[in-house]
Amino acid sequence: MEIKRDRYLGQLVSRMWNGQVKVITGIRRCGKSYLLKKLFRRYLLEEKGVHARSILTINLDDDDNIRLRNPLELSAFVKKWIKGRSGRLYLFIDEIQMCDTVPNPYVPEGKPITFYDSLNGFMHIDNLDVYVTGSNSKMLSTDILTEFRGRGDEVRLHPLSFAEYLSATGGERRDAFNRYMRFGGMPFAVSRPDDAAREAYLKSLFGEVYFRDIIERKRVERTDVLGFMTDFLCSSIGSLTNPTNIANSIKTNYDCGVSKTTVSTYLDHLEDAFLFTEAKRYDIRGKAYFDYPSKFYCEDVGLRNARTDFRQMEITHIMENVLYNELRARGYSVDVGVVQARERNRNGNSTRVAREIDFVVNKGSERIYVQSAYALPDESKRANELKPFSLTGDSFRKIIVRNDVGLRWFDEQGILNISVMDFLLDELVV
């Protein structure tokens, strides 16, 4: 099955020969290797006329390349390959985070040698363009500006968007959307022959890939707590929470005592593995972030559903998670909006109320407010959903994404009402 990832392929193409290390990051099994070693490689061969001998690919997760997990051995191997070759050369290193940290043989008491040293060394080779993939955010994304000394350029890859999913599977879009809301966009799950195989594959990813990676790399001792936390976050996507709430829930539901500090540490591990992303609350009028509580969204709704054994199919929360992921994949920063206002309660007294806008979407100077509303069956529900828009005090674009409408339209307040499928398939909307 051919799966197009044109959004990300275009990002790689636009970064060619920019003097930086191109770092493709994302959750494991989301298609980083496919993007680099198949789609981008084919582009180089067919569109740019690059000869296959000018591309060196190193798979660090291959046992045959264990020696190259030593950054000194990696540097020596690459430089030996380059020696005597002319013209423009390309280096692909898959799963770079598997490279070990080793002592400096020349200054034993000095700073250890890491793969950052190797990659920075490659940057001094004028005819070499370097691309790497990695599955840990703090090892790569966070350190790009520091360890790469300003010479790292990240391409963040996400699981398949609905548009990518539909292009790969075909069929009627409503049926495809229903499958996507259940099984998500992990590429290998899409290619499974039937629903049972998709479910089995998604369930296996947590224990056989993600948890094993976190436990081994972070030396996690409380594996039970890691599992409980994952269950909690999957069950409460789109709900406000904080480490204290999570710790209390684990104690109540699993009779397992755990400190807030441990919960915070394990949250970092889950985010580092790209399994979840924290969406902070932003005071729109006060122009400030709240420390807590926050919302956590799963990187892929299929993984979320598998973790809940496909029994907690709250379609409103799943749709909200899908929209959040789509907005981030389009390159926006996404916060949860809060608008403070004074309103009359049932007794007629004035009281301070915090109204929520699902997503405050920012890119550069552009801002858009987005509400996720699966259905607005009556005027009361519609007025409640739209109320926060009227309190922002600004004229930024406002969109309400719904599952119960067909054609899009603007209401009398200038708010765009659009179906969720149109929103996901039309990037010109946002």
d(CA 207, CA 210): 6
CATH 3.40.50.300 in the chain: give the residue spans. 6-156
Q: What is the pTM of this model?
A: 0.93
CA 251 to chain centre: 29
Instruction: Specify whether domain 6-156 bears CATH 3.40.50.300.
Output: yes
237 is written with which tokens? 């996507």
Model pLDDT, residue 149: 55
How confident is the model over 292-330, as pLDDT tens digits?
Answer: 899 999 999 999 999 999 999 999 999 999 999 999 999
Model pLDDT, residue 396: 96
Q: Where are the beta strands (DSSP E) in 223-327?
A: 276-279, 281-283, 288-289, 295-298
Model pLDDT, residue 241: 96
Regions in the chain scoring below 50 on pLDDT: none
Model pLDDT, residue 255: 86
Model pLDDT, residue 258: 93
How confident is the model over 235-247, as pLDDT tens digits?
Answer: 999 999 999 999 9
* Cβ burial, residue 114 (10 Å; 0-12/13-18/19+): middle
Q: What are phi and psi of 9, to 5 degrees?
A: -60, -40
171 is written with which tokens? 């069929």
Torsion of CA 264, 267, 268, 271, to 10 degrees: -160
